[in-house]
Chains A and B, each alone.
Chain A
């Protein structure tokens, strides 16, 4: 059904005056889709901010091409932003949109298949020109040819209305047209009763130096809002009540932002200067951008000549007493592997952030994947163990960064923090923590000799370990009497001198492994969500699949079935009780956005018959699909109700 200029819901408008009805919903999924040049990500982010400040729970899924500007109006150039918001706690950006905003024919063509029948399409009819239709292979205009009869379609001349609204501004046509995303945002803001002040403030701030552009965007935004209020095309607006949340102060935050703030916090809580060595790479660059703005916290950021120099400089800074950090994505981790081995050998704190993307090689730079787990675990020559930590949601990237820093500093080891593209760019409301509640990460540098030479003179032994943590002392240049040399050649136990002794190498190899393994005693037991405690099937995951798995488990439980959710933050070492926990269940399902990497580890380590369920589509799992898979497993155990 295509509606042009007539109310969606019959009976809601009265002759002589518009009476608009308000429908209350508990949740909505909106997908904004347009050309890469249409500003869909900005529009999505603004709508998200409005939604966050309104108090809904939310989750977002930006999805954009790797090309900065693929040819205009083509399928590869389509950029989209999906937002799920609700009056209750939600875990994912939504499996499928309820509403699709299509700024051109390409956006419609690329996204329509995801919109369930009956869903609402809002399309910019101005862009459905014969030329644009031909570009994506539409022989006739879908807004007119009846092919969209299974959906509700509202065709709105968004571009020309924007031009009309800006007619008096003196802006050229091209310039004025750019504001059509703000017109659209205005319309959506009306439809969903979003507060508008934030966007007005944002536009004023953003275009501080170009007041005429700020004014035009604000005018277009208001025009879109007013259009919603007065047009007959939209007779209904929707209300989604704020979600109950624990009392406190909230902000909307993306994974990369949270991760960067976590690193700043780690510097503050450890009292150490943060040094970031990084080479730009999608989807990790925003961490570099964010950290480079926080020099007032003593954060030094160094854009290196390549990833090797990124990690090298960070390790050099760690040797000097800084919290060394390097951020990258999979291809960069490949380049860093030799230096990671050095970090394992010289046992200095280092946080290595891998914001995973589709691989191998350049792969899918802007899409998400979890396929670097085994690289993080084993991607180095020799026995080179290191702890691996994974955040589960955008906001959780903050805590994960603090935890990675804690382990790196306490155990004097490189730590791999595995985020991914979905967490990095996705956003959610985040309860702002109180600084005093953050963990204390203070460290003590070694300032006095800890041993004695044969003649009794005090001597510094750089590899004399703390008996509990097996960490070696951290003595920094500038500290008298503690001069020592570290390096990649095998170290003699305690003295750290070069040693080729077979027994020593065997000992040191085992000590380095024992140090990492021992961290299991310093982390919480396995996090199991099994409400009744009698589920026979468990789903285990790590990293960003937390949301989709959690949402799937809720569905399963709503169907009357029982299921346990286990989610790992510490992937190496894993919680000490994990093997025992897994063995409690008849069946264990492990969904991953790779070809079964965690499943491989679990099977090898615990001899548990883990059933792997995988997907590598560059997108997060859909909760409904996951639920179906797990439900089948549950039903096959005979534990239907």
Chain B
């Protein structure tokens, strides 16, 4: 058993892992040489034919992730991608890492067991809006509050893709789909608000088509120690085409997108015409930049311990996506569950590892002699 300190969440060797597991890894290194960490995007690909509909936003996300992951300097075998069920959840098959395409909604729970017992790995979850927020809502909020070291990519296309187009927990009210011919009745979740409400230590949002913005949020999420949730707006061109056009269209996007840059004032829109200021009730509101004093404009601080600021940011946007903050809402440090679990195991072993013989003969015993 190694007892070297936890280095980072990036699957660095040297974290406490159990002897037999360490041996298997050592054996493979002996057989196949040192771990390869200088990788290219093509090294991340598998020979499996990608089976999303042509034009699906999932392709661009896949490409962005494949290009980005090598920059982390983590060997492929030290990464695991766990997904649920849905179009998005096919993701692991296309990544040359370890992976599990599990069951609907349960990926955060499965990944929790893996990450908690193998802190040496870089664990990723890929999930959809139905997978994460409908059937798997419970697992998601608990993963977030526990702060197990893993990164959750939530592909939000505001629709059930795989089951051919029913409305989802993120669809806007009145959504007409096969299951809601007269329009949906239920109010949607805002996944970022939900995550912050669950005390997530890292919450970000990015757009599928914005390679640069997406990569930046992914980088910060990957470096975050603890559970990171990244909501990725993803176009389903078959069942919900154009869902994010308001933000993507160069003519409207800048007007309605609030880029979040840590340490920068929240000014946005053409010519910086709009900004974010505090309202009278401790929340935030949109103002016209020329109507307020510069000192009133909120300077983005993702590291605020109190989640109410990040929550207020997440509430600026409406169901129709006007005033949508994009970037990292919140990034705070808290001890991770896996780390603390490893610490308890270490602490329990301060007097040495358990002695099975002594354990079995524990309690009051008596001896019968021959």
Q: Which of A276-311 contact B (CB under 8 A)?
A: 277, 294-298, 300, 302, 304-306, 308-309
Q: Complex: how many Å from CA A49 to CA B365? A: 9
Decide if B273 is an interface residue (CB 8 Å cutoff). no
Total number of residue pairs linking A and B with CB closer than 8 Å: 252
Q: Complex: how many Å from CA A296 to CA B351? A: 9
Q: Complex: how many Å from CA A272 to CA B21? A: 8
Q: Complex: how many Å from CA A341 to CA B359? A: 35
Q: Which of B23-42 contact A (CB under 8 A)?
A: 24-25, 27-29, 31-33, 35-36
Contact indicator A298/B75 (Cβ below 8 Å): no
Q: Complex: how many Å from CA A242 to CA B85? A: 61
Q: Complex: how many Å from CA A242 to CA B33? A: 64
Residue of A55, A312, A342 with highest tally of chain B CB at under 10 A: A312
Q: Complex: how many Å from CA A524 to CA B28? A: 37
Decide if B102 is an interface residue (CB 8 Å cutoff). yes
The residue of chain B having its C-beta at the shortest distance from the C-beta of A446 within the complex is: B24
Residue of A297, A346, A434, A480 with highest tally of chain B CB at under 10 A: A480
Name the one of B96, B101, B120, B341 contacting A478, with C-beta atoms under 8 angstroms.
B120
Decide if B203 is an interface residue (CB 8 Å cutoff). no
Contact residues in A for B79 (Cβ distance below 8 Å): 477
Decide if A425 is an interface residue (CB 8 Å cutoff). no
Q: Complex: how many Å from CA A188 to CA B370? A: 30
Name the one of A247, A273, A302 contacting B112, with C-beta atoms under 8 angstroms.
A302
Contact indicator B360/A250 (Cβ below 8 Å): no
Contact residues in B for A608 (Cβ distance below 8 Å): none
A108 to B: closest C-beta gap in Å:
32
Contact indicator A296/B353 (Cβ below 8 Å): yes
Q: Which of B6-34 contact A (CB under 8 A)?
A: 17-21, 24-25, 27-29, 31-33
A228 to B: closest C-beta gap in Å:
23
Residue of B75, B111, B344, B356 with highest tally of chain A CB at under 10 A: B356
Residue of A249, A300, A313 with highest tally of chain B CB at under 10 A: A313
Contact indicator B77/A483 (Cβ below 8 Å): yes
Q: Which of A565-624 contact B (CB under 8 A)?
A: none
Residue of A277, A300, A482, A486 with highest tally of chain B CB at under 10 A: A300
A205 to B: closest C-beta gap in Å:
11
Name the one of B36, B92, B367 contacting A485, with C-beta atoms under 8 angstroms.
B92
Decide if A338 is an interface residue (CB 8 Å cutoff). yes
Contact residues in B for A52 (Cβ distance below 8 Å): 364, 366
Contact indicator B118/A249 (Cβ below 8 Å): no
| Binary interface encoding of chain B residues 335-352 relative to chain A, with 1 for a CB under 8 A from any of its CBs, else 0 | 000000100110111011
- Known contacts A273-B18, A296-B349, A483-B76; A478/B118 CB under 8 A: yes
| Binary interface encoding of chain A residues 311-323 relative to chain B, with 1 for a CB under 8 A from any of its CBs, else 0 | 0111111011110
Decide if B78 is an interface residue (CB 8 Å cutoff). yes
Contact indicator B357/A53 (Cβ below 8 Å): no
Decide if B99 is an interface residue (CB 8 Å cutoff). yes
Contact indicator A435/B139 (Cβ below 8 Å): no
A556 to B: closest C-beta gap in Å:
29
13 new A-B contacts at CB < 8 Å, known A296-B352, A298-B345, A478-B17: A54-B366, A247-B369, A249-B361, A294-B359, A296-B349, A302-B116, A305-B109, A308-B139, A312-B112, A313-B113, A319-B110, A478-B77, A480-B75
